[in-house]
Every structure is written in structure tokens, then in C-alpha cells.
Amino acid sequence: MKANATPELSQKWWSTNKAKTLKPTGLGKLLKDFEVAEDQMDWDKALKALAGVKKKIPSVIKACNETLHKDTLAALKKYAKVIEAKEADLTARKQEAADRAVAASAPKQKVGKQVVIWQQDVGALALKAYKPNFLDAMHGVEFKLKLNDDILDVLVAEKDLVTPQQMVDDCNERSDALIAKLVALMRKIEAAADKEADSIKRQKIYALFELQTRAELKKAKSDFAEIPQKRWSAYIKRKQQFRDYQIKTGVELTTGVLSVAGGALGVAGAAATGGASLALGIVGLVRGVTALASKIKDIAISANTVEKTLESDLETLKARYHTAVGAAQNMQGVSEVSASVLKGILGEDTPFLATLPKCDRNFALLQNKVAGLEVGGRDLSGQIDKGLKACAKLEQVLKASSGAETRKQFDTLRKGRAALDKALDACSDMMSDATRVSRNAPKLEQLLMALKGTNPKYADIFEKAFPVVVNLALTGTNAADGFKGAESALEHANTSLSLFNDLLGEIEKQVDA
């Protein structure tokens, strides 16, 4: 053993560095027990094992020969301070775990209002996939899945946006299956009707399409209703503190209008007086949407700036580590460098010491920004949904009228509604980016905590975990574009507002005429 060596709480260190002439003492086994307990993050077990090491040291010192085992004795006498520091570290970690457990306990549930977490115009998508010769339109055949917002609040607070995304993915999967069935039905009805020369018989076949479509929609409604409960059940297997929470699901189905050849409904004509008040309400709603979208865009820009700064600082830490490895290899003349030597070098490296707390601060700041995007995105989706509902009401008013002016108004309404739909899609994209960053953040947090530990395993951190973790946590979004959906949502919202202002002017002009 080298003179003045600092002892480590490691069986390998003890086996390698103790005097070869020292008889077996049992200290190595106790050190191994401690290492296993610490790796398992069983703080009580680790503290107990450490106490065993502490108790064993005096007897090992007594077994040493002052002349033959001089350096081993000197190192053994330093164990007291090493053990004391480790006890303090383990006690702090134990308390942190206890604090997290307390924080994880769920408060009493207050069931909140239902919010839309997914919606889709199935009719429009079915006709996009296939347009049969007998079907003129499938207006407003739309599903909306609702969930009590306190459940979403729990998932956001627990930094789990995977579960709600899975609900949406399940809905999209079942919707795709439903659309495939509708397309198959269209083809079947079309083929059957085309064989009939009698127009009355053809109309009867067309009527079967509507009847069977209603049946498929009714069945699909039940299927959609089951999705949130299944995903929530899977979630509480991991988070038992929320096992008593109740999930309230609602599925809203708008059956819309199926217009077949020979029985198509007339498109809307002259606006009723009530259309002006509805249009005015839509303008007010969309103004609110644009104001909220503008705030979210500002948060997204700030989040992207923080993300880039954090990425740069993490690269600085990695660069300083590699510099320290090179210095240690030159100093010792070996290829493998011990963690204790590296800690000694990095513990005096000003760039490393200054950058690590900066990373902590920017990591926390990024989490706050992402949480703001998640909450803001939910609010924005809700506001857009209100605007789309108002559009549906105005559409029904316009459909009850006839005339060239109303056809023009209907076209403006359609364009404004399409712009709102695009704003909703962009908001969803932005929230997906935020979800990916939020989902992978705990891995980065563990990495930063490991760097601040008593004996960081630098090689494992920087050579193995670092490349994967940083890539997952910070490049979940496109590095060049950031949370680009936020900017796109604002652009589409502004387009929609302009169109609805035009629509309001058109309707008011007709009412005053």
C-alpha cells in the first residue's frame, strides 16, 4: 500500500491495498455487504452494514503488526472520517427517500370537470380514404373522448404524460379500425347498388348503409369509453397511492348528416338573425385562443433557450471529465484511472465545479418551462374545443337557410374552422414534444445526482449513461426547431381569427340589409 493512501469503502480496494502478510480479518466481506446494500439503494441496510465495518476496524487494527503493516495501519486509522462522511451521506439519502414517499402520498380526490382529450371527425376521414359514387357527404360524424381533469392534473404532477398519450394513441388505433370498417361497408353497398337498375331498390340499399353505419358508430362509442379506465388501471399498478381515485369517462358522438344520392340535403342559405350573435361569440373565443397561444409561444421560446444552454453545459462537464482523465493518466502513467483520483482532480477544476450547479438550476428551470407548456397546452386545447363547438352550432343555423350569400358565409366558416383544427393539431404536436422531454427528465436528474455523490462512478456516468441520457432528455424535440408546434398554433389561430372577423362582417351586413 502506498504511504498516506486514503481508504475506500470497497472490497476490491481493501483486497488490493492491504498488506499481503496480514491474516484474513473478515473486513473484506463486510465491505462487500455494504457495497451491495448501497447499490440496491437500501439505505437502512447500507447504514447497518456500514456500522458493521466501523465495528470491525478496531479489531483489524489490533491484528496489524506496527512494523510489518505500517502503511495498512495508517490507512485503517483514516477509516473513521471516511465512514463518518458516508454515514452522513446515507442518512441524507434516506431522508430524501422518506420525503419523496410523503410527497407521493395522494390527497383526497376532488373529481373535476370533464375535458376533451381526443376528438376526430370520422366521417371526413372515411370519405378521404374512399369516396363512393352514392355518398355525397358525411358531415359532422365526430367522436370526442372526455376525462375528469383532476386525473390529468395527477399525471402532470407525477410527470407522467405517457399515460394520456397512450389513451390518445389507443383512440387513434380504434378510430383507424372503425374507418376501415366504414370504407369496407361503402364498397360493399356501392357494389350491391350498382347491380340494381331499379332506382327504388338502389335507394333501399343506400338506406342500409346509414343503418349499418349507425350500428358501427354505436359499438365504437362503447369501445372508446373503455380506453381511459384500462390505461388508468395500468398506471395505478405503479402508483398505488392513487388506487382509490375514480376516473370519469365520457364519449360524445355527433352522428351528423349522411347525404346519399337522391336524398342529399340542401346546403345552408341566408343567415338567420341568430347567426350574428353566434359569429360574435366565436370571434370572442378565438381572440382568447390567440392570446393564450401567444403566451405559450413565449414560454416555448424560453424553454428552447434553456434547453440549449443546459445541453452546452452538459457537454462542458463531459469535456472537463475527459481532460481530467488525460491529466490523471499522464500523472500516474496508467491507462485505468481510479474514481478517487478523478474526484481529486475534478474537485479542484473550476469549470467543472461552476458548471455542475448551473446544470442543476437550468434542469429545474427547464422542468418548470415544460410544465408550463403542458398546462398551457391543455388550456389551449380546451379553448379551441369551445370554438369548434360554437362553429358546429353556427353551421346548423346556416344550414337552415338558403341563398348565395349564405353559401359564401358557409365557405368562410369552413375555412375558419379548418384553421382552428390546424391550431389544435399544432398544439398537440407541441405537447408531444413537451411529453418526450418530461418523460425522460428523471434519467437526467439521476445522472446529475450521481455526479454529486460521495464517490461518483465517473466512467459509468460519462462513458455509458451520459450519451444515452442526454440524447433522450434533451433531443426529444428537434434541436433546430424546439417546441415548434407552439408557433404554428399561434399562426393558425391568427388565420382563424381573421376569417371569423370576415364572417361576422358578412352576416351582420346581411342582417342589416
Q: What is the mean pLDDT of residues 229-248?
A: 85
Which of 2-11, 74-83, 202-211 shows the lowest per-residue confidence on average (mean pLDDT)?
202-211
Q: What is the mean pLDDT of residues 470-488?
A: 65
| Burial (Cβ within 10 Å: 0-12, 13-18, ≥19) of residue 146 | buried
Q: pLDDT tens-digit profile of 120-145?
A: 888 889 988 998 888 877 777 888 88
Q: pLDDT tens-digit profile of 393-418?
A: 888 777 766 566 777 888 888 999 99
- State the pLDDT confidence band at 256, using cuts at 50, 70 and 90: low
Looking at residue 509, its pLDDT comes to: 67
Q: What is the mean pLDDT of residues 108-118?
A: 86
- In angstroms, rounded to a whole number, what is the distance separating the alpha carbons of residues 461 and 458? 5
Q: What is the mean pLDDT of residues 325-332?
A: 80
Angle at 42 between CA 18 and CA 79, to 5 degrees: 25
Looking at residue 177, its pLDDT comes to: 94
Amino acid at 94: K
Residue whose C-alpha cell reads 434516506 in the numeric block: 94
Q: Residue 264 pLDDT > 50, yes or no?
A: no
Instruction: Let me know: does 345 contact 264? Beta carbons within 8 Å.
Output: no
Q: What percent of the chain is predicted at pLDDT more than 90?
A: 20
Q: What percent of the chain is predicted at pLDDT more than 70?
A: 88
Looking at residue 263, its pLDDT comes to: 42
Q: Is 259 helix (H, G, I), strand (E, B) or coil?
A: strand
Looking at residue 186, its pLDDT comes to: 92
Amino acid at 102: V
**Domain extent listing, the chain:** 11-104, 112-265, 267-513
Q: Which residue has the higher pLDDT, 73 or 480?
A: 73
Q: What is the mean pLDDT of residues 501-511?
A: 75
Looking at residue 270, its pLDDT comes to: 30
Average model confidence (pLDDT) for the chain? 82
pTM over 0.85: no
Q: Which helix (H) or strand (E) holds 136?
A: strand 135-139
Q: What is the mean pLDDT of residues 441-466?
A: 82
